[in-house]
Structure 1
Amino acid sequence: MAAVRSEDQFLCSICLDLFTEPVTTPCGHNFCRRCLSQHWDTSAPCRCPLCNELFHIKPELRVNTLLSGLVSQFKQEAGSRSEVSKPGEVSCDHCSAPKLKALKSCLVCLSSYCESHLQPHLSVPGLKSHQLMEPVDNMEDRMCPQHHKLLELFCRSDHSFLCTMCALLEHQSHKFVSLKEEFDQRKVSLQQTQQQSRHMVKQRRQKIQELQSSVQLSQRAVDREKSTGLQAFSALIKSVQRSRERFIQELQEKHRHIQTQAEALLQQLKQEICELGQRSTEAEQLLRSEDHLHFLQHCPALPPTGLKDWSSVRLDLEPFEGTAARALTELEENLKETFTEEMKKLSKPKHKLWREQQFAVDLTLDTNTAYVKLSVSNDLKQVHHTDQRNFPDSPQRFSSFLNVFTKQSFSSIKGRFYFEVQVKDKTIWILGVAKESVERRNNQNTLTSNYGYWCLHMSVTGKYFACTEARVPLSLKRVPQKVGVFVDYDEGLVSFYDADTADLIYSFTGCSFREKLFPFLNPSGNAGGKNSAPLILTAVEK
């Protein structure tokens, strides 16, 4: 009886894998030669990795040929066992136990074959014509239960599978086709369905991104409105606090005034009480005297003179009355004024450029399209005109205009995009988007919308124009330092903004885009150094 070998018997305890060139230590433990050598090279003195026995002299390592042979045999047996069919796999119908995994099934023989039993179908001429397919179970299910013939046809009238006898006897008036024809048609239909499904999945993923972006934008809008509202409420609260402080201060000042009056009166009363007390003491002493002359000489005047009549003395409390009402009236006026000021701030029209900025793209300039005397920076973000030739001729290169396209293009698939260009210190410039097919060489046309350019132009006179067919002069509130460009391909919209103030400069509407659009820059001539500053593609600060 063959011994059953376990993989654990042939595992190296260092690398935990099957032995490679197994060697044995003097203490009887086995390891891969390389594993044990590396272990001893990194540790001193030499010890067995398993039992930790110390070897004063490093043992000479020799391959254990018996163990090496057993490992090789185990690997071969494991490899052959891997071909045996597993649960859920189709097994060969012609193998005795153990049954090997089937590689193909024959639709003619209605059997499944492993690699060795399949060979006749690959070499015998009579079997080569048999139709082979990926292995399947239950080949009898492919037979007609009524006529015991192969199911080869599909009835489109009642959607059932037929053999040739079924077609002749029971489905003569029906429309039927071969399984391959139905398979091909269904496959094409399924591929179209799959393509539609992928498109719908893509649309839904885009909608998920849109909704997630909307949630983020909603949070940003909440934060902005919260900040704006809190500033307004803070201004109103401060106005209330100031009125409250003035109200309390006024009451305290009136109270201090009354208190000062009362203290003065109290001082007078105490003075008179003291004087009256002294007179009363002197009168008591005289009343005890029996000396008529002394009594009459010192008897005070009756009634006492020089004293104040206190019966009509009152503290005036009327100033307190109405203080709260007057304070609230004053507060009402202050709140109205503050409220009006804050409403003016809130009602001031502002363009929300952040809606466009969410479609910001990172652009780089394409030197293969740049006019020969343009200079493009190493990071492909800046461009200016020079007096020397910097690029060789190329079919893609502009030869009539000082243009340079970006490497990135946009179409209906990408939909909307936004970018910003720094125009600071420039005296002449043109920028915008252009269709891919614009004439680039020996062009006598102009950079206008009727020739495939949608752009903004600052002229040498400092005036601004939208480059429509008739060129529209523009009146700007301020000289822009940075221009933002937003394009909605599907809506046919190209808008230009002052990126610092979010003010709309001009919009091309109702445009018809039927090909790729390329952002482009035109820094114009350097004008003897007066226009030497570059146009710069800048990162968008959202």
Structure 2
Amino acid sequence: MQYLKIEPQMQRSASDSGPLCGLPEVVSCSVNKTRGMFEFQFDPQSAGSYLHLSKNNSKVTKGKMQKCHSLPDLITAKPKTNSSNAYTILGNCAISEGKHYWEIQTGDGSFTMGVAYRSVRRDKDIGWTKKSWGLGKQKWIPSILHDSVFKALAQGEQTEVRISACPERIGVHLDYDLGSVTFTDPATQEVIHTFNVKFEEPVVPAFSLYKGSLSICSD
């Protein structure tokens, strides 16, 4: 796996306070830092009440609200209209060093995907807190010609991003030591967006799903 060399675009520091997700210790992952996919699963204990997982926890689908017995009251309580904590889920493997890469099959849904600290606030979507960074796609945002519209979300700020075509998969290149998170179209290697972050805690893959499904790609 070749990792991209990206010039810094945006400096982000990290400090936040607020309700925590109350996750257990995530599993330790042994990963080849120079090639291959970063292996993780969706963590069912972090799943919002509208999210349904496949048996092997490799696919998450937006569905009807369900009771989440394993989650704290912040998440299990009946959400208010458009409450965001019901749509967020984290990966079960933390990263604290090295270079890592994973791909997500996005389909035709609406989502935000990126990385977050394990202590991220759960009453906001990914990218709308100082402890998470994400790339968002919302199906109801109109396209202009053949462009695809995304939102780069960090620390509660958003930046519009346009690329030539909407990819079927999105690749995430994380260099923890350098402090960069780059999103690409794996089919063309087109760079969608890069965040430059001074990480202060281990991070996990993080997602907010509003419509459709997301699947972790294994090849």
TM-score interval, normalised by the smaller of the two chains: 0.7 to 0.9
How far does residue 450 in structure 1 lie from its aligned partner after superposition? 5.3
Aligned equivalent of 2:113: 431
Match of 1:406 among 91, 102, 113: 91
User: What is the CA deviation profile of residues 44-99 of structure 1, one whole-angstrom value per residue up to 9, with x for unaligned ones?
Assistant: xxxxxxxxxxxxxxxxxxxxxxxxxxxxxxxxxxxxxxxxxxxxxxxxxxxxxxxx
How far does residue 384 in structure 1 lie from its aligned partner after superposition? 1.1
Q: For 1:101-112, what aligned pairs fall within 5 Å after superposition?
A: none
- Detail structure 1 runs of 4+ shifted over 4 Å in the superposition: 396-399
Alpha carbons 2:126, 2:206 under 8 Å: kept: no
Aligned equivalent of 2:23: none
Q: For 1:114-193, what aligned pairs fall within 5 Å after superposition?
A: none
Alpha carbons 1:359, 1:416 under 8 Å: kept: no
Structure 2 counterpart of 1:355, one-letter code:
Q
Match of 1:515 among 195, 198, 201: 201
Match of 1:461 among 116, 135, 141: 141
Structure 2 counterpart of 1:370, one-letter code:
A
Q: For 1:437-456, what aligned pairs fall within 5 Å after superposition?
A: 437-440=119-122, 443=123, 445=124, 447-448=126-127, 451-456=130-135
CA distance in structure 2 between the partners assigned to 1:404 and 1:396 by the alignment = 16
Aligned equivalent of 2:47: 370
Larger radius of gyration: 1
Structure with bigger helix share is 1
CA distance in structure 2 between the partners assigned to 1:410 and 1:396 by the alignment = 27
User: What is the CA deviation profile of residues 467-510 of structure 1, one whole-angstrom value per residue up to 9, with x for unaligned ones?
Assistant: 0343110111101110000111111100000112111100002x
CA distance in structure 1 between the partners assigned to 2:36 and 2:66 by the alignment = 36
Alpha carbons 1:373, 1:391 under 8 Å: kept: no
Match of 1:484 among 171, 189, 194: 171
User: What is the CA deviation profile of residues 109-139 of structure 1, one whole-angstrom value per residue up to 9, with x for unaligned ones?
Assistant: xxxxxxxxxxxxxxxxxxxxxxxxxxxxxxx
TM-score (norm 1): 0.30
- Residue 384 in structure 1 maps to residue 31 in structure 2: no
Alpha carbons 1:398, 1:404 under 8 Å: kept: no
CA distance in structure 1 between the partners assigned to 2:150 and 2:112 by the alignment = 10
Aligned CA RMSD, in angstroms, stands at 2.1
Aligned equivalent of 2:35: 358
Q: For 1:190-209, what aligned pairs fall within 5 Å after superposition?
A: none
How far does residue 425 in structure 1 lie from its aligned partner after superposition? 2.2
How far does residue 447 in structure 1 lie from its aligned partner after superposition? 3.1
TM-score (norm 2): 0.72
How far does residue 359 in structure 1 lie from its aligned partner after superposition? 4.9
Structure 2 counterpart of 1:409, one-letter code:
A
Structure 2 counterpart of 1:492, one-letter code:
G
Aligned equivalent of 2:191: 504
Instruction: Could you tell me which runs of 5 or more consecutive residues in structure 2 were left unpaired when the two chains were aligned.
Output: 4-33, 77-84, 143-148
Matched pairs, number: 173
Bigger RCO (CA 8 Å, 6+ sep): 2
Alpha carbons 1:406, 1:520 under 8 Å: kept: yes
User: What is the CA deviation profile of residues 292-319 of structure 1, one whole-angstrom value per residue up to 9, with x for unaligned ones?
Assistant: xxxxxxxxxxxxxxxxxxxxxxxxxxxx
